[in-house]
Amino acid sequence: MDTQTTDFSRRMALFEPSRSVTEILDLAERPDIISLAGGLPDPAVFDLDMVRESMDRVLRDEGAAALNYGPNAGYGRLREWIAGRMEERCGVPLSPENILVVSGGVDGLNLCAMALIDKGDTVLVGAPTYMMALHVFRTYEAHIVPVPLDEQGIDPDALEQRLSELDQKGVRPRLLYTNPSFQNPSGRTMDLPRRERLVELCRRYQVPIAEDHAYGELVYDGEALPPLKALDPENVLFIHTFSKIFGPGVRLGWVAAEAAFIERLGLCKLGTDQCANTLTQRLVHDYGTRGLIDVQVKRSIELYRSKRDAMERAMTAHFPADASWVHPGGGFFFWVRLADGTDSEALLRRAIEEQKTAFVAGPPFFHDGGGSNYLRLSYSFVREDQIEEAIQRLSRAMTA
């Protein structure tokens, strides 16, 4: 058996094996390793008793309907609840027709890419950016144009320059992908004037924005800033996930966009997997309408803020003087810059083998190389009482 060689499609050659992602998940499982690699939530934020209560209620009261196919765009009452919550929290006026329930944030991104990108189309991303976004765009054979970040995320001057160069060549990018709040991997956040400028630029050059809000609710310092979606409701595709506000195990998220666009995305979803699974949509709806998502977000903020502070203290105490980072006001990550010339991938191997500590090296977050002197350290999953130990181990690996 297994003798026939398979000809894969061209697009499969365009993204390297996503080893980094699977390795992250594998490492988190190994008991002997302290992992600062994965962007996994801390299971302590899950309120299992309340989840069981909601699940039980859904199956008792709506059992059969909760287990059959649901509407392609998602469970109506969940769409309604999402629209209402976004309006309340972010000031974006939305109706249920503006919401497509998807199977997690990556599904949302994949569907948007499917709807908008043809082979050779230009897509703008941050350098660095979320590595899964790069993989998704590569499979659609997009021409990826990275834009450097400064301390607040995508640098608007650099963006304007890219847009104007592309415009002179007659190229209109099909999408700008960005995490304006607590970016993965850099943890950086755009302030309000930055957001306004970005939205204005994209509108001027007629480039839709895909705004990934995955970490947007996990605000540890000060007030949440309005998402780009609130600044330009028409031109922003807003992608959010339940992974960081409920739990990744249900694989649910949503896209908020103009109703006509949502309808097209729904057709794409029909082809990819028909609809998000019905049962966990109803579970999340029940849990959410009981106010428990908001409670969980509050609990998560307390927990992660404390872990972030612990990690920052440890890094200040133990890291070499030339290590630097921008203090993240929320989210899951520190993005640490080491001395130029550092090979973070070699460092990672040393850290795992000699120090039993894992993180993610910088290069996979860049489309065209670079970033080898950066590390992404996640404080979300690691136990708080292991953080200092982990940072000490990493310091040892750095100075070895």
Q: Which of residues 225-254 bind other proteins (CB under 8 A)?
A: 234-235, 243, 246-251
170-209 mask for other proteins (x: CB under 8 A)? Answer: ------------------------------x--xx-x-x-
User: Is the alpha carbon torsion for 156, 207, 369, 29 positive or negative?
Assistant: positive
Ramachandran region, residue 81 (left: φ > 0; alpha: ψ -120 to 50; beta: rest): alpha
Helices (H), the chain: 19-29, 48-67, 76-90, 105-116, 131-139, 156-168, 192-204, 228-231, 259-272, 278-289, 292-318, 344-355, 384-399
> Are the CB atoms for 104 and 74 separated by under 8 Å?
no
135 binds other proteins (CB under 8 A): yes
Minimum separation from the CB atom of position 320 to other proteins (A):
32
Contact residue for other proteins among 189, 280, 357, 395 (CB under 8 A): 280
Cα distances (Å, whole numbers) of residue 141 to 27, 114, 120, 156, 264: 30, 11, 6, 26, 21
Q: CA angle, 204 as apex, 199 and 205 as ends, to 5°?
A: 100
Number of residues interacting with other proteins: please give it, by CB under 8 A: 89
CA pair distance 27, 389, nearest whole angstrom: 17
The residue whose two tokens read 């949503």 is 254
Task: State which of positions 328-387 bind other proteins (CB under 8 A).
Answer: none
118 binds other proteins (CB under 8 A): yes
Minimum separation from the CB atom of position 84 to other proteins (A):
11
292-311 mask for other proteins (x: CB under 8 A)? Answer: --------------------
- Stretch of 153-161, 177-185, 278-286, 312-320 lying at the interface with other proteins (CB under 8 A): 278-286
88 binds other proteins (CB under 8 A): no
Contact residue for other proteins among 192, 270, 295, 400 (CB under 8 A): 270
User: Is the alpha carbon torsion for 223, 228, 232, 238 positive or negative?
Assistant: negative
CA pair distance 111, 353, nearest whole angstrom: 39
Contact residue for other proteins among 129, 181, 184, 278 (CB under 8 A): 278
Contact residue for other proteins among 92, 279, 348, 377 (CB under 8 A): 279
Contact residue for other proteins among 63, 71, 91, 320 (CB under 8 A): 63
31 binds other proteins (CB under 8 A): no
- Stretch of 103-111, 161-169, 297-305, 315-323 lying at the interface with other proteins (CB under 8 A): 103-111
Q: What's the DSSP call for residue 105?
A: H
